[in-house]
Structure 1
């Protein structure tokens, strides 16, 4: 087992010392969703570094931070390739359900496509609380994990040739589009995502450059903390608390093991 895989396994609390294989990928996705938060603290603090293998490993593994999609999915991609997976990164456009249209930020979502035994699958660990904890086939088949149902629809648009769709447990009664992506336009390299980081950090319509946000999955649901509220979903029941500075720091330490 390589050093990267060993460090990654320790970071997400995955026991054992064997390489990561296809059959163990759901366990990897579940552990990563629980232990590495989706968060924008680097953007809010204007602590922005180039997207590179070295910087991702330093931030997420050694510094034990989280990140956004252009950080979390590239790290997982590096680990998958390190373990012999046939994987590529690609970009997508997130769907805005409030306006019923795709976001004007452009192709700012990053996800992973994996070729396995003649089929292509999507893996995503960078979509907030909307994570499929198992690979989703591009064939259109619906797959389930403990947090909901997920599928890929072949739906050519100006934003790509497929859409990722979800029906989250306890939250959705109908299918919702998450984002459109282009299976035929793999990213040229990690440095391509510096453009995304610049947009997310500076665009007036970016949802991630105004207030702090951190979220992760739990065994019974998920927890989300912002400057204004703390929200916990547990077995289908939701509780919400208003936050002040002291309460924010307490919840950040309690649920994310991070000091403010």
Structure 2
């Protein structure tokens, strides 16, 4: 049976993505400046939703350091230096690890969960590794799923975990369904429910994040080692880059797809995904420009 622990994740580890940050006021000020947030600061649902929306609009999803072989570290200092100090993006362990520390510093009752990505896979596909981190928040006895690190299909607002009904957003509708000892999170895309991931119900120890991050960033089977991927979601549109294909999905339903040259990829990384493009990315960008994107 699914259960919800009353406290935050057991076994916190200073080196993990949910490590505490101190001092909290200075940390929060840097974070709020990074995402352009100047609203109220209190553990409420409205604040949670506002922070989530500001975060995914300001900090893009990207895994360029995995693609170039630079590697990805998920301890608090490394994540803060990269996502806040260098104004880079990141993937789930970085993004949701940062967001979890922000929420805890504000006073939210929050913990992390791990899951298996099922996005773009058939239902009968073999089990995938536990490589996706999300945040679970408890407010007034209700549990909410919050995710700021799932690329172009990231939920744009908190999702109630006590309802199996469709939950509309300004983009797609989502639903969270109990599946035995797990949760199935799905989005309705082009009139079809598509599973994003299956989440374990129990917060993991820090070592599980480390293992998941190693697989995602370094294992030869990880698609981040072979594809240039970036995403950003605003209130008006979703932007997704997969190698040389840029897809823009507007909230009114219009979809635009374009294929880019290497110079155009560099330009959209800077202008659409707000990234400080580095010279050593160029070989990976040139490979992406000649890729044949399938699907």
TM-score when normalising by structure 1:
0.89
Which structure has greater strand proportion? Answer: 1
Displacement of 1:207: 1.9
Give the paired residue count.
252
Displacement of 1:39: 0.6
Q: Which of 207, 228, 231 is matched with 1:212 structurally?
A: 228
Q: Which of 255, 278, 291 is matched with 1:238 structurally?
A: 255
Instruction: Summarize the Cα distance change of 1:3–1:22 in structure 2 as closer, same or farther, 3 Å threshold.
Output: farther
2:190 is matched with: 172
Write out per-residue CA displacement over residues 51-92 of structure 1, whole angstroms, 9 at most, x where no aligned residue: 211111111111111111111101000000001111110100
Unaligned 5+ runs, structure 2: 1-23, 279-295
Write out per-residue CA displacement over residues 167-215 of structure 1, whole angstroms, 9 at most, x where no aligned residue: 2xxx4313222111111x20223x5322112111233432211021111
CA contact 1:223–1:230 (8 Å) conserved in 2: yes
1:146 is matched with: 170
CA contact 1:211–1:227 (8 Å) conserved in 2: yes
Q: Distance in 1 between matches of 2:25 and 2:56?
A: 22
CA contact 2:182–2:199 (8 Å) conserved in 1: yes
Q: Does residue 163 in structure 1 map to residue 187 in structure 2?
A: no
Q: Distance in 1 between matches of 2:146 and 2:274?
A: 26
Q: How does 1:1-260 map to 2 (within 5 A)?
A: 2-16=25-39, 18-19=41-42, 21-101=44-124, 104-140=127-163, 141-156=165-180, 160-167=181-188, 171-183=189-201, 185-189=202-206, 191-234=207-250, 235-258=252-275, 259-260=277-278
CA contact 2:41–2:106 (8 Å) conserved in 1: no
TM-score when normalising by structure 2:
0.79
Which has the bigger relative contact order, CA under 8 A and spacing at least 6? 2
SS at match of 2:199: strand
